[in-house]
Amino acid sequence: MSSPTSRRGSLILLLPIALIVALLALLFVWIGGWFGGRGVTPQAMADTAEASGSPQPGFRRAHSKGICIVGSFAPTPAAAKLSTARVFTQPSIPVLGRFSNPGNDPHAPDNKAAVRGMGLQLKTDDGQEWRLAMNSFPFFASATPEGFQALNMARLPDPATGKPDPEKMKAVLARHPEIARFLAWSKSAPTPDSLANTRFNGVNAFRLIDAQGRERAVRWSMRPHAPFAAADPEHLKHAGRDFLAEDLGRRLAAGPLQWDMVMQFAAPGDVVEDPSRPWPDTRPETTVGTLTLERAEAQVGGPCFDLNFDPLILPKGIAATGDPVLHARSAVYSVSFNRREREISQGLARSGSAQ
């Protein structure tokens, strides 16, 4: 064995070589998720969103209907004490964003949209970037991505009946009891009659890091200056398909629309990593800035369409928490973005006639 001469080894030695190579290959494809299911993947969650309706190549897998918005963000002096992010010291930051409706139909009527989304991109003069993905619900449906996936699976129509199976939903609620709280909220909460008077919530907790390196767990929200007005259910029934966009256009023609960005601080003992459990309204809050929207435009051909509002694109001075839903959102948005940009690249997107 120790001879360095050119005496050849037995061909039997091909066996351990093949074994080493095969084991490495197997390990790689296992890590890559080709076999051996290890729970919910971002691909599975995107598949479920796709299965909830007909294919919409080129569009987002969820929150597919949307409107691009353009404006600016101006921080308050109090903000700079909470975080070193440039977004809290630069006097005015250009904002590109997107309002969205839930579901995977980019042409769905607005009166079906009980919850709404607001995505924002803030680019500061130091080259840093902050992307936010907020929703009009005050807390998330589930504590975990697994619960959310189970909920969405249970909502899919059963192939036999064409309707969701109530037994499946019961099983999901038994395993993920926090979802019942969200379903109760969505049944009773009044829907605002406009995007302009809708409050948008970050839902997931983040950490603000100040100049001393001190970290504070926060949840942020955008609180509209326009007073809340609930949509009249009777009126909603006859509202036009795109009444939200039309209303937004009318209001923006009359003047800019504003929201205050408010940070809510966790108290010691508050659960930071569970987005289904909001903190009490009595927690201290600080207004860190004002968002001003100046104009809106159709998403197709608009600047917000091919942007992934990934909530983990954060500037220095703002960091993620371990909230598993936050990390899952980033992962699933990425899958959705990859799929739709590929469809666009392959010329499959039917976006020409879309709104």
Partner 1 sequence: MNRPRHFNLLARALHWSMAVAILAMLFVGAAMVVTLRYREPLLDLHRPLGLAILLLALVRLANRLRHPPPPLPADLPRIQVWAATASHWLLYALMLAMPLIGWAMLSAGAYPVELFSGVNLPPILPHSPVMYGFLRPLHGVLAYVLFFTILAHLGAALFHAWVRRDEVFGQMARGEPRPARSNDVRDDLAPPL
**Annotated catalytic residue 63:** yes
Shortest CB 92 distance to partner 1, Å: 20
CA neighbor of 116 nearest in space, from 101, 104, 106: 101
Shortest CB 78 distance to partner 1, Å: 22
Looking at the Cβ atoms of 91 and 127, the one nearer to partner 1 is: 127
Looking at the Cβ atoms of 226 and 331, the one nearer to partner 1 is: 331
Looking at the Cβ atoms of 70 and 344, the one nearer to partner 1 is: 344
Looking at the Cβ atoms of 283 and 327, the one nearer to partner 1 is: 327
Shortest CB 27 distance to partner 1, Å: 8
Looking at the Cβ atoms of 43 and 191, the one nearer to partner 1 is: 43
Residues of this chain that bind partner 1 (CB under 8 A):
1-11, 13-14, 16-18, 20-21, 24-25, 28-29, 31-33, 39-43, 45, 127-129, 145, 306-308, 310, 312-313, 315-316, 320, 324, 327-328, 330-332, 334, 337-338, 341-346
Phi-psi region for residue 301, left (φ > 0), alpha (ψ -120 to 50) or beta?
left
Shortest CB 20 distance to partner 1, Å: 7
How would you write the chain as a 3-class SS string? Answer: CCCCCCCCCCHHHHHHHHHHHHHHHHHHHHHCCCCCCCCCCHHHHHHHHHHCCCCCCCCCCCCCEEEEEEEEEEECHHHHHCCCCHHHCCCCEEEEEEEEECCCCCCCCHHHCCCCEEEEEEECCCCCEEEEEEECCCCCCCCCHHHHHHHHHHHCCCCCCCCCCHHHHHHHHHHCCHHHHHHHHHHHCCCECCCCCCCEECCCCEEEECCCCCEEEEEEEEEECCCCCECCHHHHHHCCCCHHHHHHHHHHHHCCEEEEEEEEECCCCCCCCCCCCCCCCCCCEEEEEEEEEEEEEECCCCCCCCCCCCCCCCCCCEEECCCHHHHHHHHHHHHHHHHHHHHHHCCCCCCCCCC
Shortest CB 331 distance to partner 1, Å: 5
Looking at the Cβ atoms of 43 and 290, the one nearer to partner 1 is: 43
Catalytic hit among 63, 107, 238, 327: 63
Cα distance between residue 185 and residue 42, in whole Å:
27
Shortest CB 250 distance to partner 1, Å: 30
Q: Which residues are catalytic?
A: 63
